[in-house]
């Protein structure tokens, strides 16, 4: 028991040296920044921050992605404002830029890149591992026969075996006959056929 307590104390002391323990007064949470509104120098709302760009080598904050225009998030374009050009006050509750709303609406949309797959990660690329790819839809490819629908192939009693109107042939065979067969019949009155009601 004493050995376990000593091991736990040593692990806690080691971990305390490897992690941050408390947020400092000059540090902000990402949660405070994303979703925050950015305003122009005259107080006009430009848009809200939807994402942040971080330098992968230095860890330095590079830019804030701001959704501009649109209505309720639909039709917005994403622009990137350099992080150094933003003024952030009151624990990220007031964020301003020297960009005007007109300039923000005229600014080019930011181009995101695709995230790279880890080297040697076969599971992230289904094309590299056919077993990981989802099974093909047999209806789309025609390579496999789908299971039979028992409701469509077996009659459900006497009512399904004969149509309600007393016709001897199923309704779907009428659909395969040409629509103009009635027009080719002689019009002299020798035969009288009535077209079945659909």
- Chain segment 89-108, per-residue pLDDT in tens: 878 789 999 999 999 999 99
**94-96 and 37-39 beta bridge pairing:** parallel
Comparing 64-78, 122-136, 166-180, which segment has the lowest mean pLDDT? Answer: 166-180
pTM attached to this predicted model: 0.54
Q: Which residues of 85-110 are buried (b: 16+ CB within 10 A; e: fewer)?
A: ebebeeebeebbbebebeebeebeee
pLDDT at residue 70 in the model: 73
With H, G, I as helix, E, B as strand and everything else as coil, classify residue 122. Answer: helix
Domain at 30-106, CATH from 2.30.30.240, 1.10.490.10, 3.30.2130.10, 3.40.50.2300: 2.30.30.240
Q: Following CA atoms 122, 123, 126, 132 in sequence, which dihedral angle do they give, to the nearest 10 degrees?
A: 120
Asked whether 62 and 93 are in contact (CB, 8 A), the reply is no
**17 confidence band (pLDDT: 50, 70, 90):** confident
């Amino acid at each position: 028991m004493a050995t376990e307590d000593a091991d736990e104390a040593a692990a806690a002391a080691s971990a305390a040296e490897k992690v941050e323990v408390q947020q400092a007064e000059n540090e902000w949470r990402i949660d405070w920044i994303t979703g925050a509104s950015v305003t122009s120098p005259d107080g006009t709302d430009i848009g809200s921050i939807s994402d942040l760009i971080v330098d992968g080598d230095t860890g330095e904050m590079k830019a804030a992605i701001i959704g501009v225009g649109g209505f309720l998030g639909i039709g917005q374009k994403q622009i990137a404002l350099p992080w150094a050009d933003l003024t952030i006050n009151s624990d990220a509750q007031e964020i301003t830029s020297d960009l005007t709303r007109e300039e923000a609406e005229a600014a080019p949309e930011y181009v995101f890149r695709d995230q790279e797959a880890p080297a040697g990660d076969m599971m992230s690329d289904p094309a590299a591992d056919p077993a990981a790819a989802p099974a093909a839809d047999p209806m789309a490819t025609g390579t496999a026969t789908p299971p039979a629908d028992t409701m469509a192939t077996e009659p459900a009693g006497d009512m399904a075996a004969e149509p309600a109107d007393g016709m001897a042939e199923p309704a779907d065979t009428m659909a395969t006959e040409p629509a103009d067969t009635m027009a080719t019949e002689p019009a002299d009155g020798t035969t009288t056929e009535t077209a079945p009601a659909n």
